[in-house]
Amino acid sequence: MNSIQSLVIIGSGNVATHLASAFQDAGLDILGIYSQTFKNSQILADKLNANAFESITDIPDTADAYLLAVTDSALIKIVSEMPIVNGVLMHTSGSVGLDVFPTRIIRSAVFYPLQTFTKGKSIDFSSVPILIESKNKIVLKQLENLGDKISKTVKSIDSKQRKQLHLAAVFASNFSNYMYHIAFNLLKENDLNFDLLKPLINETVEKLNSISPQEAQTGPAIRDDHKTINEHIDMLDNNPAYQHIYRLISDQIKKLKS
Amino acid sequence: MNSIQSLVIIGSGNVATHLASAFQDAGLDILGIYSQTFKNSQILADKLNANAFESITDIPDTADAYLLAVTDSALIKIVSEMPIVNGVLMHTSGSVGLDVFPTRIIRSAVFYPLQTFTKGKSIDFSSVPILIESKNKIVLKQLENLGDKISKTVKSIDSKQRKQLHLAAVFASNFSNYMYHIAFNLLKENDLNFDLLKPLINETVEKLNSISPQEAQTGPAIRDDHKTINEHIDMLDNNPAYQHIYRLISDQIKKLKS
């Protein structure tokens, strides 16, 4: 097996930027960047001291791998426009299957970093799980090797599992963040600072290192404390959407007891 | 103002246990424990090397303060049964007003630690916000002084604000934990370990140190990625409750854009 030494990055968003930097820091050779918006390619290329390609046809065919870190909707278009290359073609999406690649592409793969990336905020990549997939066993070995260079958790899973993981991540990250948003608003309305909740939020997460979320569940709903639940529902009278969410989740939490 | 030096603890649950230990560690004198179940009083009393009172009438009237750390439903009963004392009577509930104390009790107060306490898991109390309330200015000063001994964040708020804070905490802690529970179940169904999500959960919380939850919102809903949203809803076909939660929260997140 030849390990992957050189990469072309396709895309210039948060995932592309964070992964490209992690690869470069790990000693890999970034041959250049292509993005649908040339200006964005240039910004990332400048950061990495690499080339920016103006057209997709300018992409060199000599890279060991091509990282397609673009939105799910752009992915099909990019795959169809890609010049024929020998290297591994890998996308980074949690919700798109391996089948986005036509069967003529032999070295197709997925390299999915399970993390939320924020512009300008650096990440310790060693703790980011990398979920890999390929039908080609040599390619899978190459991805494992590539993943090991930037992360201590590299795991091979299939498209169905990855989609399930992505769905679970929506609940665990996007929806929990929306719960913080509601809390933020409820406090703002009463001149209270969101910082007051941070130790509680941290401890709620910290608990998961010793017990399961089900065991960790606290609050009025799990205690069947109807008096508090009804008071809370009354307090949310001016916000029917928050009230609806409160009712629905409380009803579910109550069922955990039985 | 005489600062509070001695306390009687009423209650033997998580809040009573954690607060009593924190007070003792801060050099305060725990005169004893009373709990409706004598066996539980003894367990906590043994831990603190303090007395356990068998009857509420055995409680000494010489303590500077009486911490009523019992469930909301037990609070009214305990207050009505309390012998007449000179010290400060303070409850620890987020959702109960100061008006739970009859007006004949002059030194009534609230001492609410905003944290989730787990049996057997120690807490760094210095980072736990303590929210205090009393109509008596001298008592308020005493509580501020008491709070300062165990926490670096002591803040005086009124009952309305405290109830709002408690409601916000339900969203930020209890409901976010339920989102973790859903994620846990979705992974278990597919032989995937919840640990894979922990770096993502940690980073989701870590982000809040630099940006607001609204700015931090990511995921298919905020991107208006209908294809992924519809796929996720299909994947939840065997769990109507999870599907309902997914739809409801996604619809709300979409509105953040406008």
Which chain A residues are within 8 Å of B164, Cβ to Cβ?
A: 186-187, 189-190, 192, 235
Q: Are residues A42 and A122 in the same domain?
A: yes
Digit-coded pLDDT (tens) for B109-124: 999 999 998 888 888 9
Q: Are residues B90 and B198 in the same domain?
A: no
Which chain A residues are within 8 Å of B210, Cβ to Cβ?
A: 118, 121
Q: Are residues B95 and B153 in the same domain?
A: yes
CATH number at residue A108: 3.40.50.720
Nearest C-alpha in A relative to B153? A196
B176-188 and A176-188 helices cross at what angle (nearest 10)? 170
The range of the structural domain enclosing residue B231 comes to: 163-256
Name which of A176, A199, A216 is nearest B204 (Cβ-Cβ). Answer: A176
**pLDDT value for A145:** 98
| Nearest CA-CA partner of B179 in A226, A216, A160, A195 | A216
CATH number at residue A179: 1.10.1040.20
Q: Check A200 against B116: CB less than 8 A apart.
A: yes
Mapping DSSP onto H, E and C, the string for A160-216 reads: HHHHHHHHHHHHHHHHHHHHHHHHHHHHHCCCCCHHHHHHHHHHHHHHHHCCCHHHH
Q: Check B219 against A114: CB less than 8 A apart.
A: no
The residue assigned the tokens 């300018």 is A58
Distance from A4 to chain B by nearest Cα, in Å?
A: 25
Compute the C-alpha angle A218/B197/B247, nearest 5°: 70
Counting the structural domains of chain B, the total is 2
Percent of residues, chain B, with pLDDT higher than 70 = 99
Q: Check B73 against A248: CB less than 8 A apart.
A: no
- In this structure, which amino acid lies at residue A85? V
Q: How far apart are CA B70 and CA B78, in angstroms?
A: 9
Mean pLDDT of B99-113: 95
DSSP annotation of B154: E
Q: How far apart are CA B236 and CA A225, in angstroms?
A: 29
Q: Show the beta-strand stretches assigned E in chain B.
A: 6-10, 29-34, 52-53, 65-68, 88-91, 108-113, 130-133, 154-156
The residue assigned the tokens 């290297």 is A87
Digit-coded pLDDT (tens) for B128-150: 999 999 999 999 999 999 999 99
Digit-coded pLDDT (tens) for B219-238: 999 999 999 999 999 999 99
Interface test with B, best of A70, A112, A156, A178 (most B CBs within 10 A): A178
User: What sign for the dihedral angle of Cα A164, A169, A175, A178?
Assistant: negative
Digit-coded pLDDT (tens) for A23-46: 999 999 999 999 999 999 999 999
Contact status of A121 with chain B (Cβ, < 8 Å): yes
For residue A212, being part of any structural domain is answered with yes
Q: How far apart are CA B207 and CA B126, in angstroms?
A: 22
Give Cβ neighbours of residue B69 (< 8 Å, ≥ 6 apart): B9, B10, B11, B13, B15, B16, B19, B91, B92
**pLDDT value for A258:** 65
Beta partners for B201?
Answer: none
Q: Are residues A123 and A202 in the same domain?
A: no
For residue B205, being part of any structural domain is answered with yes
A40, two tokens = 């964005």
Give Cβ neighbours of residue A230 (< 8 Å, ≥ 6 apart): none
Distance from A228 to chain B by nearest Cα, in Å?
A: 7
Nearest C-alpha in A relative to B244? A248
User: What sign for the dihedral angle of Cα A210, A215, A220, A221?
Assistant: positive
Q: How far apart are CA B245 and CA B251, in angstroms?
A: 10
Q: Are residues B139 and B33 in the same domain?
A: yes
Compute the C-alpha angle B194/B199/B203, nearest 5°: 130
Distance from A223 to chain B by nearest Cα, in Å?
A: 10
Q: Are residues A136 and A172 in the same domain?
A: no
Q: How far apart are CA A217 and CA B174, in angstroms?
A: 6
Strands A130-133, A88-91: pairing is unpaired
DSSP annotation of B171: I
Name which of B121, B165, B197 is nearest A168 (Cβ-Cβ). Answer: B197
Digit-coded pLDDT (tens) for B154-208: 999 999 999 999 999 999 999 999 999 999 999 999 999 999 999 999 999 999 9
Contact status of B106 with chain A (Cβ, < 8 Å): no
Q: Check A155 against B196: CB less than 8 A apart.
A: yes
Q: Are residues B152 and B167 in the same domain?
A: no
Q: Check A123 against B200: CB less than 8 A apart.
A: no
For residue A211, being part of any structural domain is answered with yes
Q: Are residues B137 and B170 in the same domain?
A: no
For residue A169, being part of any structural domain is answered with yes
Contact status of A159 with chain B (Cβ, < 8 Å): no
A116, two tokens = 């939320």
Q: Among B136, B157, B178, identify where a domain stops.
A: B157
Q: Are residues B25 and B62 in the same domain?
A: yes
Residue B170 zone, left/alpha/beta (φ > 0; ψ -120 to 50; rest): alpha
Which chain A residues are within 8 Å of B207, Cβ to Cβ?
A: 116, 118, 121
For residue A1, being part of any structural domain is answered with no
For residue A226, name the pLDDT band (cuts at 50, 70, 90). Answer: very high
Name which of A71, A180, A220 is nearest B170 (Cβ-Cβ). Answer: A220
Q: Are residues B195 and B225 in the same domain?
A: yes
Digit-coded pLDDT (tens) for A106-116: 899 999 999 99
Q: Chain A 60-79, CB below 8 Å of chain B: which residues?
A: 71-73
The residue assigned the tokens 């004949």 is B104
User: Please, are residues A195 and B231 in contact by the beta-carbon 8 Å criterion?
Assistant: no
Nearest C-alpha in B relative to A127? B199
* First-to-last C-alpha distance (Å) of chain B: 53
Q: Among A157, A190, A224, identify where a domain stops.
A: A157
Q: Among A157, A172, A190, identify where a domain stops.
A: A157
User: Please, are residues B112 and B143 in contact by the beta-carbon 8 Å criterion?
Assistant: no
Beta partners for B108?
Answer: B89
Which chain B residues are within 8 Å of A189, Cβ to Cβ?
A: 164
Looking from the CA of B250 toward its CB, the CA atoms found within 13 Å total 22
Q: Check B200 against A174: CB less than 8 A apart.
A: no
Residue A85 neighbours by CB distance under 10 Å: 18
Identify the helix (H) or strand (E) that includes residue B11. none
For residue B1, being part of any structural domain is answered with no
Residue B1 in this model has a pLDDT that exceeds 80: no
DSSP annotation of A151: -
φ, ψ of residue A134 in degrees (nearest 5): -165, 145
Contact status of A176 with chain B (Cβ, < 8 Å): yes
Which chain A residues are within 8 Å of B184, Cβ to Cβ?
A: 168, 212-214
**pLDDT value for B136:** 96
Compute the C-alpha angle B64/B6/B101, nearest 5°: 40
Q: Check A172 against B192: CB less than 8 A apart.
A: no
Residue A173 in this model has a pLDDT that exceeds 90: yes
B77, two tokens = 């009963």
For residue A200, being part of any structural domain is answered with yes
Q: How far is CA B139 from CA A142, A200, A202, B9, B60, in A?
A: 68, 26, 31, 18, 20
What does pTM read for this prediction? 0.94
Q: Show the beta-strand stretches assigned E in B35-175.
A: 52-53, 65-68, 88-91, 108-113, 130-133, 154-156
Name which of A170, A187, A241 is nearest B232 (Cβ-Cβ). Answer: A170
For residue B181, being part of any structural domain is answered with yes
Q: Check A121 against B207: CB less than 8 A apart.
A: yes
Q: Are residues A87 and A188 in the same domain?
A: no
Distance from B129 to chain A by nearest Cα, in Å?
A: 6
Q: Check A245 against B244: CB less than 8 A apart.
A: no
Q: Are residues A135 and A177 in the same domain?
A: no
Q: How far apart are CA A118 and CA A139, in angstroms?
A: 29
Interface test with A, best of B128, B151, B161, B173 (most A CBs within 10 A): B173
For residue A73, name the pLDDT band (cuts at 50, 70, 90). Answer: confident
